[in-house]
Amino acid sequence: MFFQQLINGIALGSTYALIALGYTMVYGIITLINFAHGEIYMVGAFVGLFATAILKVNFFIAMLIAMAVCVLLGVLVERIAYRPLRKSSRLSALISAIGVSIFLSTLAQMLFGANAKGYPEGVFPVKQITIGSAEISTLQLLIIAVSATLMIALEFIVHKTKIGKAMRATSEDYNTAALMGINVNMVISFTFALGSALAAAGGVLVGLLFNAVSFNMGLMAGLKAFAAAVLGGIGSIPGAMLGGLLLGVTEVGGVALGFSSYRDAIAFAILVLVLLVKPTGLLGRKIQKKV
Amino acid sequence: MGDFLQMLLGYINPYYLQIIVNIGIGIILALGLNVVTGLTGQLSLGHAAFMSIGAFTSAVLTIKFGMPFSVNLILTGFITAGVAALIGLPILRLTGDYLAICTLGFAEIVKVVFLNLDITNRALGLTVPAANTSIPMPIVVWAVVILTIVCVSFIHSSRFGRALMAVRGDEIAAEAMGINVTLYKVQSFALGAFIAGVGGGLYAHFMGYINPSDFGFLKSVDILSMVVLGGLGSITGSVIGATILSAAPEFLRFMSSYRMMVYGGLLVCMMIFRPNGLMGSISFTGLVLRALGRKPHLKIIMEQKSSETSRSDNGDT
């Protein structure tokens, strides 16, 4: 029972982590809470749905198509809605992000209708594997495997490549990085691209897991992923992974213990409690304040 | 008197009357948040939670006790402020975005709890009986609007308001100047919640039906957009921002389903072209005085002159 719920929680949590990574990377570089990120995830789920239903491609290619479309969308959103506001107050950029979020979700509602849609049958053959007393579906294993692969790839990009080094430098100090000859605009676009690709992958996986894609799925998932990013310490990449997994496991655990009507509150209650004890999140850096 | 006022209101198209009342409630909520986010600089993404608490408290007070509406509103305000102070004490130790996500989390928790309580009629929502007053609701709402504007203006220019602005400017420096930062933050949080609670009570009795889902994240964002659009910390700005954003969905109604899309696009454009809000640091009284050909803030100019003369005196000796 416990093992079963743990696997369920990790599967859900790794999708939260995939979305949370986008929040945390963007925040780490330009200290913007990108509220449109949840909508990018929603668009990713829809693109995956259409790729499998209309183009009849297999699941992995559908995910790649969704990632490509969302990369373009993410970079475009940054170009139009955030770049002109980079020098103005952070709240203005926040409101702009919320505007983009409302725009995208309404657009999706008009284009795809208000009803939830499911992925076509047999996109991914689901089998149940019994290990001890736990029943694990191949879909859950797929979600965990894909998420883990993507996160390892992200760690590789951030720590072993030149553009990753530029990202870390920019998040350390924006102005100094620019003085050192780093093309800061390009780095920011790249960060948005990376985050959007991960969110799109998360969208396709969640679409498969719950078999429901709807225009308003981005709001709650986005808020929870943001909570996960803050829980782990916003700006920290391992923190977002840890926060996502933790939220997923506690949420599933809470539902299993019979608090299913409080499902959406569990994640936030954990968040508030953790922040009260550790005000900068689990893996967040302490900021020395000076006058 | 109530009948007479009701008759006067009868001349106004009921649809316009509803928009006017919505604008009034929007102004009250925006002014409440402006105290917390604009004046004290604490970003709150959960202001709708206080509106929700106020709406349900006020509705329950009317249903269970049928008390006069004025007493009801004041009691509602104090109860909401009490909850805010209780919540504020622990979470206001957090700063910046950590505080923002905490208020957001609190709002979600309030929503889910109200969706599961019997007294709030769970997910069905609560039908609110008519308020126990002879004065028609639109007049009550706008009387409260005027009262709120007056009170908030006094707060802005009071010792309390200046302390809040000092906290906004720099917490450590304010603390060094002898300002009890936590106390002032909690007080401003409670004050903002008081105003939001009253706004929620008015909303409940005007609408006649409330549902916990009405006060979700999008409502909080709505209120925050009003404050930021108008210009942080500016009372005139909040009034104008609330007016525009409360009326916009109605005026955009002819576009039917495109409406919210245009609203989202509008938010982005307004922020790009007026990043500091419509009013920025311009104040209405300053504008009027300038239009009348008088110099604004005469008192401040006088104070500056007197300090200059005293400085030159020192130089002479």
> Does the pLDDT value for residue B278 go beyond 80?
no
Q: What is the arithmetic mean of pLDDT over B73-93?
A: 94
Contact A98 B113 (CB under 8 A): no
- Cα distance between residue A262 and residue B162, in whole Å: 41
Contact B90 A89 (CB under 8 A): no
User: What stretches of A31-86 show up as alpha helix (H) in DSSP?
Assistant: 37-53, 59-77
Q: What is the arithmetic mean of pLDDT over B202-226?
A: 92
Residue of B nearest to A102 (CA): B264
Residue numbers in B near A93 (CB within 8 A): 271
Higher pLDDT, B301 or A27: A27
B90 touches A at CB < 8 Å: yes
- Cα distance between residue A27 and residue A278, in whole Å: 19
Q: CA torsion B150→B152→B156→B161, rounded to 10°?
A: 140
> Does the pLDDT value for residue A12 go beyond 50?
yes
Question: pLDDT at position B260, please?
Answer: 82
Question: pLDDT at position B313, please?
Answer: 39
- Closest-CA distance, B120 to chain A, in angstroms, reads 15
Contact A275 B172 (CB under 8 A): no
Residues of chain A above pLDDT 90, percent: 61
> Does the pLDDT value for residue B302 go beyond 80?
no
Q: What is the arithmetic mean of pLDDT over B86-106?
A: 89
Q: What is the arithmetic mean of pLDDT over B262-286?
A: 78
Question: What is the rounded average pLDDT for all residues in chain A?
Answer: 90
Lowest mean pLDDT among A61-70, A121-130, B43-52: A121-130
Residue of B nearest to A87 (CA): B275
CA A31, A36, A38 angle in degrees (round to 5)?
A: 110
Contact A234 B258 (CB under 8 A): no
Tokens of A117: 């849609």
Residue numbers in A near B268 (CB within 8 A): 80-81, 96, 99-100, 103
- Closest-CA distance, A280 to chain B, in angstroms, reads 7
Question: pLDDT at position A182, please?
Answer: 94
Query: Model confidence at B284, in pLDDT bands (50, 70, 90)?
Result: low
- The whole-model pTM stands at 0.88
- Cα distance between residue B121 and residue B114, in whole Å: 8
A152-169: per-residue pLDDT in tens?
Answer: 999 999 999 999 999 999
Question: pLDDT at position B297, please?
Answer: 53
Picking from A145, A151, A140, A203, the residue whose alpha carbon sits closest to that of residue A9 is A140
Q: What is the arithmetic mean of pLDDT over B11-23?
A: 91
- Residue indicated by tokens 């599961």: B116
B130-157: per-residue pLDDT in tens?
Answer: 888 888 999 999 999 999 999 999 999 8
Query: Model confidence at A289, in pLDDT bands (50, 70, 90)?
Result: low
Tokens of B51: 């509106």
- Cα distance between residue A91 and residue A108, in whole Å: 26
Backbone angles phi, psi at A6, to 5 degrees: -60, -45
Residues 131-190, chain B: which have Cβ within 8 Å of A? 170-173, 176
The total of other beta-carbon atoms located within 10 Å of residue B310's CB is: 10
A34-51: per-residue pLDDT in tens?
Answer: 999 999 999 999 999 999
> Does the pLDDT value for residue A131 go beyond 70?
yes
Query: Model confidence at A11, in pLDDT bands (50, 70, 90)?
Result: very high
Lowest mean pLDDT among A214-228, A269-283, B242-256, B300-314: B300-314
Question: pLDDT at position A121, please?
Answer: 81
User: What stretches of chain B show up as alpha helix (H) in DSSP?
Assistant: 2-9, 14-33, 47-65, 69-91, 96-116, 137-156, 159-169, 171-176, 181-207, 217-230, 235-251, 259-273, 284-291, 298-316
> Does the pLDDT value for residue B101 go beyond 70?
yes
Q: What is the arithmetic mean of pLDDT over A56-67?
A: 92
* b/e burial code for range A32-70 (CB count within 10 A of at least 16 → b): bbbbbbbbbbbbbbbbbbbbbeeeebebeebbbbbbebb
Contact A230 B97 (CB under 8 A): yes
> Does the pLDDT value for residue B311 go beyond 50?
no
Residue numbers in B near A272 (CB within 8 A): 91, 102, 105-106, 109
Query: Model confidence at B307, in pLDDT bands (50, 70, 90)?
Result: very low
- Residue indicated by tokens 């770049």: A83
Question: pLDDT at position B283, please?
Answer: 62
Contact B109 A96 (CB under 8 A): no
Residue of B nearest to A96 (CA): B268
Q: What is the arithmetic mean of pLDDT over A81-106?
A: 90
A187-230: per-residue pLDDT in tens?
Answer: 999 999 999 999 999 999 999 988 889 998 999 999 999 999 99
Tokens of A13: 């949590």
B100 touches A at CB < 8 Å: yes
Contact B276 A102 (CB under 8 A): no
Question: pLDDT at position B309, please?
Answer: 40
Residues 259-278, chain B: which have Cβ within 8 Å of A? 259-261, 263-268, 271-272, 275-277
Question: pLDDT at position B267, please?
Answer: 86
Question: pLDDT at position B258, please?
Answer: 79
User: What stretches of chain A show up as alpha helix (H) in DSSP?
Assistant: 2-30, 37-53, 59-77, 90-112, 138-160, 162-172, 174-179, 184-210, 217-232, 237-256, 263-277
> Does the pLDDT value for residue B317 go beyond 50?
no
ipTM: 0.86
